[in-house]
């Protein structure tokens, strides 16, 4: 009937506590408690409002991070567009140069490009495709 696993109800717990012997505190007990109470530093209680500031700061940090990531993406897009534009301009410049060389090739259809001791680089303008047929990679 007295199973230790069984939980106590309030009435039974009160009855058991009343049955305990009364113990008188030592003489210095009160002095120690009063001394500890007066020496204790009081810490202010935290208000639920402090958590809302923390959440607002975390949200602001996330927004700054997202904005900086987006700004970085925009900058990369601008740089890529600038590189593509530079490649287009270089392609146009090369097409104009080939056209100019073709026009001046009446007397000499072969243009010397340079070379080393072992190799000379030349271009035969008669074998180049017409300027409208030149294809540029990826543009």
What pTM was computed for the model?
0.39
Q: Which two tokens stand for residue 92?
A: 């146009």
Report the distance separating Cα 70 and Cα 78, nearest Å: 12
Name the stretches of the chain with pLDDT < 50. Answer: 139
78: Cα within 13 Å, side-chain hemisphere: 6
Tell me if 125 sits within 8 A of 111, measured CB to CB.
yes
DSSP 2: -
Report the distance separating Cα 24 and Cα 83, nearest Å: 90
Which pLDDT score, from 0 to 100, does residue 47 have? 64
């Amino acid at each position: 009937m007295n199973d230790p696993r069984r939980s106590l109800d309030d009435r039974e717990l009160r009855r058991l506590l009343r049955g305990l012997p009364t113990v008188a505190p030592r003489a210095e007990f009160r002095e120690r408690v009063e001394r500890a109470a007066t020496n204790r530093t009081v810490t202010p209680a935290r208000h639920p409002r402090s958590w809302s500031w923390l959440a607002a700061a975390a949200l602001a940090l996330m927004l700054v991070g997202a904005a900086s990531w987006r700004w970085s993406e925009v900058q990369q897009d601008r740089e890529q567009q600038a590189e593509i534009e530079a490649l287009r301009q270089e392609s146009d410049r090369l097409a104009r140069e080939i056209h100019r060389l073709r026009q001046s090739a009446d007397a000499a259809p072969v243009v010397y490009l340079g070379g080393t001791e072992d190799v000379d680089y030349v271009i035969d303008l008669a074998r180049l495709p017409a300027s409208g047929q030149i294809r540029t990679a990826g543009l």
